[in-house]
Amino acid sequence: MSYLVLARRWRPRSFSEMVGQEHVLRPLVNALDNDRLHHAFLFTGTRGVGKTTIARILAKSLNCEKGVSSAPCGECSACREIDEGRFVDLIEVDAASRTKVEDTRELLENVQYAPTRGRYKVYLIDEVHMLSTHSFNALLKTLEEPPPHVKFLLATTDPQRLPVTVLSRCLQFNLRRMLPQQIAGHLEQILGREEISFQPEALQRIAHAADGSMRDALSLLDQAIAYCGGELQADQVRAMLGTIEQDHIFELLEALQRGDGTALLEAVERLAQSSPDFSQALAELLSVLHRIALLQILPETLEETLPERERYLALGSSLAPEDVQLYYQIALLGRSDLELAPDPRGGFEMIMLRMLAFRPVEEVAVGSTGGGSVSAGRSEAAAAAPATRAAGGSGQSPPAATGSRERQWSETVAALGLKGMALQLALNSVLRGEGEDTITVALAARHKQLLNERNRERLEQALRKHYGRELKLVVECTLEEKGATPAAIRRMQEEQRQRAAEQAIASDANVQSMIEQFDARIEPESVRPVE
């Protein structure tokens, strides 16, 4: 017996076997179970997301010998024949190969006749957007008022090309691209039934390469099984897909973080030894930078099971958010310019060197030579100077434990001049106590990823500069902090300023005059407080 590809062997036979698309399945199930069926359905979405599969299951639900329901038996002759593609009352048409008006008229000549075997005569027209204008005109009248025994199921990847007259006569369902975790989970189930061993990272790479298409994922899985000889190894799948090893991307970013030009060029050399597509390498770099930027703003978005989780956390805490944004912009623009370079590798090296050249200086010494002072770059000492002046010079003690401790700590954090993850650590902590040489703060367990030695040291050094003496910072990671953090106080203040701005606008005499004379209205989302 000839081999049947995975995409056909594991095609869902019922709605319960479908992966994802719950927003489409739910109304179809309810319509079938409550006998409220429209005569024309339009399924839209990119390739391989289940348009024709859902249409065939719907045809089976309509013609199952045990009755119309959302759960066809799958055993009667009608269900089996539909699964096998030989049911006489399911007429499947590929509109891409039958675009002429004569083809459409021939198709519709038999609409008025009753079904031969089933309860309904079902017309499944795939890639319906390929029909000609005359073909659509021939279809319109029948599509609007078909005989009661006829159902039309239309599928397309390009609904914008359908006439509005057709769209208005159909119930439209837009199928979404599959999430990588949905695809990987389904592939894992299939490999379990096929009794094929695999590495989870191999499935993750196939799921990402499928780009939202389950059919593409199954085709890639077939290819990977053949390529790997039956056992899916991550490195072999990566080689098959031609993707870039993320080790190379992390090496590039780590060299940039250190400002090490030699290490940067050595990392490019190691990348070049694998003969990569340098445009794809930039795409991988953009993807990693995007994930780092998300981590810095929303740490909970970093998956616990991510293989490179520790390296992401390390880069997220060591790279300043503004540097991440700069690198992303340079890589994005560089990708469009790469094809103009005389040599792809040389163009890639120039993009990396551009990131290094425009990298802001982290620390520049500020001192005096012969009575003149020199400062340059993004200096932490310069950033701390305003905070020191606000604190009243060196030798100032930490704020007293009495009174509004949370607000005092919030004001202290605002004066420290911190940036990046160290600032996030300070903003999400609350003051627990102060001593002669110790400050203790508490951090909620949900923010524990902010706590590492680098961030603690940066916050400790900023506090020493602020108070003008040696201090040790102790950070306690508690289950739930009590008291308002500086971040919470900031949000509260912003909300108060926003409400005040909205009230000021609403009570303004000129605004009231415009509302009365011109029937105007205030758009709340357009109101912003003045800094």
Query: CA 18 to CA 12: how far, in whole Å?
Result: 6
Q: What percent of the chain has pLDDT over 90?
A: 31
CA 449 vs CA 128, 300, 446, 526: distances in Å: 51, 9, 8, 35
Query: CA 388 to CA 381: how far, in whole Å?
Result: 10
pLDDT, position 55: 93
Confidence category of residue 372, pLDDT binned at 50, 70, 90: very low
Residues 230 and 346 in one domain: no
Is pTM beyond 0.95? Reply is: no
Residues 191 and 149 in one domain: no
- Indicate the angle between helix axes 200-209 and 234-241, nearest 10 degrees: 20
Residues 101 and 28 in one domain: yes
Asked if residue 90 lies in contact with residue 32, where contact means CB atoms within 8 angstroms, the answer is: no
- Whether 363 maps to a domain, the answer reads no
Residues of the domain holding 235: 180-241
What one-letter code names the amino acid at 158? D
Q: What is the CATH number of the domain that holds 442?
A: 3.30.300.150
Residues 142 and 28 in one domain: yes
pLDDT, position 364: 36
Residues 322 and 398 in one domain: no
Q: What is the CATH number of the domain that holds 111?
A: 3.40.50.300
- Whether 366 maps to a domain, the answer reads no
Q: 345: closest CA among 281, 296, 299?
A: 281
Each residue's pLDDT tens digit, 42-79: 999 999 999 999 999 999 999 999 999 999 998 999 99
- Whether 372 maps to a domain, the answer reads no
Asked if residue 12 lies in contact with residue 54, where contact means CB atoms within 8 angstroms, the answer is: no
Residues 417 and 459 in one domain: yes
Burial of 429 (0-12, 13-18, 19+ CB in 10 A): buried
Asked if residue 318 lies in contact with residue 255, where contact means CB atoms within 8 angstroms, the answer is: no
- Whether 362 maps to a domain, the answer reads no
Confidence category of residue 314, pLDDT binned at 50, 70, 90: confident
- Whether 123 maps to a domain, the answer reads yes
The residue among 241, 259, 280 that closes a domain is: 241
Strands 150-156 and 121-126: parallel
Asked if residue 250 lies in contact with residue 288, where contact means CB atoms within 8 angstroms, the answer is: yes
- Whether 374 maps to a domain, the answer reads no
Query: Mean pLDDT over residues 107-126, rounded?
Result: 87
Asked if residue 379 lies in contact with residue 364, where contact means CB atoms within 8 angstroms, the answer is: yes
Query: Mean pLDDT over residues 192-206, rounded?
Result: 88
Decide: helix, strand or coil at residue 275.
coil
pLDDT, position 56: 93
Asked if residue 383 lies in contact with residue 417, where contact means CB atoms within 8 angstroms, the answer is: yes
Q: What is the CATH number of the domain that holds 309?
A: 1.20.272.10
The residue among 224, 241, 258 that closes a domain is: 241
- Whether 1 maps to a domain, the answer reads no
Residue 61: count of CB within 10 angstroms of its CB: 24
Q: Which helix (H) or strand (E) holds 311?
A: helix 309-318
Strands 40-44 and 150-156: parallel
Residues 353 and 494 in one domain: no
Query: CA 286 to CA 290: how far, in whole Å?
Result: 6
Q: CB within 8 A of 108, min separation 6: which ones?
A: 138, 139, 142
Burial of 316 (0-12, 13-18, 19+ CB in 10 A): buried
pLDDT, position 421: 81
The residue among 357, 391, 420 that closes a domain is: 357
Each residue's pLDDT tens digit, 408-428: 888 889 899 888 788 888 888
Residues 169 and 21 in one domain: yes
Q: How many CA atoms lie within 13 A of 173 on its CB side?
A: 23
Decide: helix, strand or coil at residue 198.
strand
Each residue's pLDDT tens digit, 278-293: 998 998 899 899 989 9
Residues 78 and 223 in one domain: no
Most confidently predicted of 294-303, 377-386, 401-410: 294-303
Residue 90: count of CB within 10 angstroms of its CB: 26
Q: How many domains does the chain have?
A: 5
- Whether 371 maps to a domain, the answer reads no
Q: What residue spans of 435-530 are helical by DSSP H?
A: 453-467, 486-507, 509-518
Residues 165 and 193 in one domain: no
Decide: helix, strand or coil at residue 369.
strand
Residues 36 and 151 in one domain: yes
116: its two tokens: 């031969």
Whole-number mean pLDDT of the chain? 82
Q: What is the CATH number of the domain that holds 211?
A: 1.10.8.60
pLDDT, position 480: 61
Biggest alpha carbon distance in the chain? 103
pLDDT, position 64: 93
79: its two tokens: 């269900």
Q: Which helix (H) or strand (E) holds 290?
A: helix 278-297
Residue 111: count of CB within 10 angstroms of its CB: 15
Query: CA 419 to CA 439: how far, in whole Å?
Result: 20
Residues 89 and 219 in one domain: no
More confident residue, 486 or 388: 486
pLDDT, position 530: 67
pLDDT, position 513: 79
Place of tokens 């102060």: 434
What one-letter code names the amino acid at 9? R
